[in-house]
Structure 1
Amino acid sequence: MAYKDYYDTLGVARSASEGDIKSAYRKLAKQYHPDKNAGDDKAAERFKEIGEAYAVLSDAEKRKVYDTYGHSGQVPPGAYSGAGGADFSGFGGADGSQFSDFFQGLFGRGGRGGFGAQGGINLEDLLGGAGMGGQGGIGGGRRFVQNVEGELQVSLQEAYAGTDETINVDGKRISLRVPAGTRDGGRLRLSGQGPGGGDVLLTVRVLEDARFELDGDDVSVTVDVPVHVAALGGQARVPTLKGDVTLSIPAGSSGGRQLRLKGQGWPKKGGGAGDLYARLNLTLPVQLSEQEKALYAQLADLRK
């Protein structure tokens, strides 16, 4: 598998600030969002790569590990001992693609989550107990009951509506349900599904959607409205987490005005949902015809 640079994926420098990374992600996610590129497999793959890159670079600890080892493709023997005292010396002269595969597995590339032993990375689980030290891998191939922690990435719409997912843990496929209304950072426990009968503890990471902003239970979205519709009144299409709806725009609406769609926000714990606020962004034609220019000139004269 070819090594991919997460900084290149987001188009930012390695010295980029947290704000720079977030801004680049929002711009690219909006550009390659599946809703804007229906049927485009390349755009869908690009959208996935953008999400994976952001999941690593937006997390301080993951970014630190990535910055240390992610660019050279080589891990010096004994350089890291987070796996119960085991180091990476078993890779020896591993090439960049081998290390890239390991790193991608650690952070979830090729799937939607990465897993490690609670309190550290468990290389025996990640690498199947092979090729790391003596016979049978780490600890002679012994298996211990332990909890396994990992992250599961879902889109904003999947977190809103709930989604069924399948993950791989210790060579076993496990099906699970992410409940509707799950928040970023929410925890799921799969009892008895870990190595030796331990638990699988998942932290849900909800990928940002460039169209929507969450504030508690409320959701905000920007809606482009032609200036004549804002002036005279009319209708506009508004994206919601359930799908697009038609919104009536009152005559005389100004840019920045917010219209509330009751109950179209994020699900509440006790039932019901927050509200969605459509923020109006007035738009003009890119090019005006001579007739349109004349009409705007007449309007300007009337407003003097």
Structure 2
Amino acid sequence: MEFKDYYAILGVEPSAGEAEIKSAYRRLARKYHPDVSKESDAEDKFKAVGEAYEALRDPHKRAAYDQLRARGYRPGQEFHPPPGGFDGAGYDFDEIFGDMGGRGGGAGGGFSDFFESLFARQRGGARPGAGPQPRGDTRARLAVPLEAVYRGDSVRITLNGRQLDVRVPKGIRAGQAIRLAGQGNGGGNLLLEIEYQAHPQFEVDGRNILYTLPLPVWQAALGTTASVPTLGGSVELKIPAGSDAGRKLRLRGRGLPGGMSSEQAGDQIVELEVQAPAPATEAQRQAYRDLAGAFGD
């Protein structure tokens, strides 16, 4: 398999902070989203960007990846995981657990063999050639798309060479676990701790979904109706006249479902990002001059 330079994929320096990495991911994910981009390889680039962000957004994964990268590997260079796993090669992967090869779609779905060779490990899991493992609960992390949590979809995981379809309970919270009886070491149980995959459009705050809506300045000033994506599909949102940048509008019930508890469904919070496009023509420049004159500047 080939070594991947996740910093180069996101177009950031290895010294980049969390905010810069997140900003680069969201910009590129929007650019290459298959529903938007017309480029022939947009889907591959979209997946690559999602994989890079999954590796770098988690401090433990990033630290372990940086240890590996510091050994001089370069993009495209042939890479072979050392025999017996990474513990014997001086890598600190003990507390890193990946998405177990989740195939649920969305950002980060369908990770490469390189990613899985680094991060798709189980706590207490067997390594090739390690022999029979004692019966008991096996714990691992499962990163799932927000869409799967919203709909209660099934995701396919690869575990020790086997493929399993795991149903994601609708509305399950990050940190809760799915129990698969008899699928752990020695016939014990497998406990999959849920984490949410990064999404190119949405963020999560409890059960609320956060979304930033870019809006031209004239639409914010005069009011409009905008199409807003949600986990359940696009909806029309009325933007009141005189809206300022940073104003937050609420789509009730459009967040994550209440799950198995008595919790209510969350809302989607839409924050307005008012933009003033740069003029590209003389007519547009004149429009800005007229605007300045009308407001007494």
8 Å CA contact 1:170–1:194 kept in 2: the answer is no
Q: Note closer, same or farther for the CA distance 1:256–1:20 as it changes in structure 2 (3 Å cut).
A: closer
- TM-score normalised to structure 2 length: 0.73
Q: Among residues 262, 273, 285, which one is paired with 2:265 in the alignment? A: 273
Q: CA offset at residue 164 of structure 1? A: 0.6
In structure 2, the residue matched to 1:5 is 5
Provide the secondary structure at the position in 2 that maps to 1:25.
Answer: helix
List per-residue Cα deviations over 1:231-273 (Å, max 9, x = no partner): 3333111122212111122233333322222222232342432
In structure 1, the residue matched to 2:44 is 45
Q: CA offset at residue 200 of structure 1? A: 1.5
List per-residue Cα deviations over 1:252-299 (Å, max 9, x = no partner): 333332222222223234243222222223344543766666666555
8 Å CA contact 1:106–1:116 kept in 2: the answer is no
In structure 2, the residue matched to 1:122 is 126
Q: CA offset at residue 165 of structure 1? A: 1.3
- TM-score normalised to structure 1 length: 0.71
List per-residue Cα deviations over 1:97-145 (Å, max 9, x = no partner): xxx96773341xxxxxx23242xx5313xxxx3xxxxxxxx3xx44542
8 Å CA contact 1:223–1:281 kept in 2: the answer is yes
Uncovered stretches (5+) of structure 2, i.e. residues with no partner: 74-78, 95-111
8 Å CA contact 2:32–2:45 kept in 1: the answer is yes
8 Å CA contact 1:83–1:123 kept in 2: the answer is no
Q: Among residues 105, 127, 150, which one is paired with 2:117 in the alignment? A: 105
Bigger Cα Rg: 1
List per-residue Cα deviations over 1:123-177 (Å, max 9, x = no partner): 13xxxx3xxxxxxxx3xx4454243333322222223322211223233322211
Bigger share in helix = 1
- Over aligned residue pairs, what C-alpha RMSD do you find? 3.5
In structure 1, the residue matched to 2:64 is 65
In structure 2, the residue matched to 1:110 is none
8 Å CA contact 1:25–1:50 kept in 2: the answer is yes
Equivalence map 1:1-304=2 (5 Å): 1-37=1-37, 42-70=41-69, 71=71, 72=73, 73=79, 75=82, 78-80=88-90, 104-107=116-119, 114-118=120-124, 122-124=126-128, 129=129, 138=130, 141-268=131-258, 269-284=261-276, 286-287=278-279, 300-304=292-296
Uncovered stretches (5+) of structure 1, i.e. residues with no partner: 85-99, 108-113, 130-137
8 Å CA contact 2:149–2:256 kept in 1: the answer is no
Q: Note closer, same or farther for the CA distance 1:195–1:33 as it changes in structure 2 (3 Å cut).
A: same
In structure 2, the residue matched to 1:133 is none
Larger RCO (CA under 8 A, 6+ residues apart): 2
8 Å CA contact 2:175–2:195 kept in 1: the answer is yes
Q: Note closer, same or farther for the CA distance 1:166–1:289 as it changes in structure 2 (3 Å cut).
A: closer
Identity of aligned residues (%): 42
Q: CA offset at residue 81 of structure 1? A: 9.6
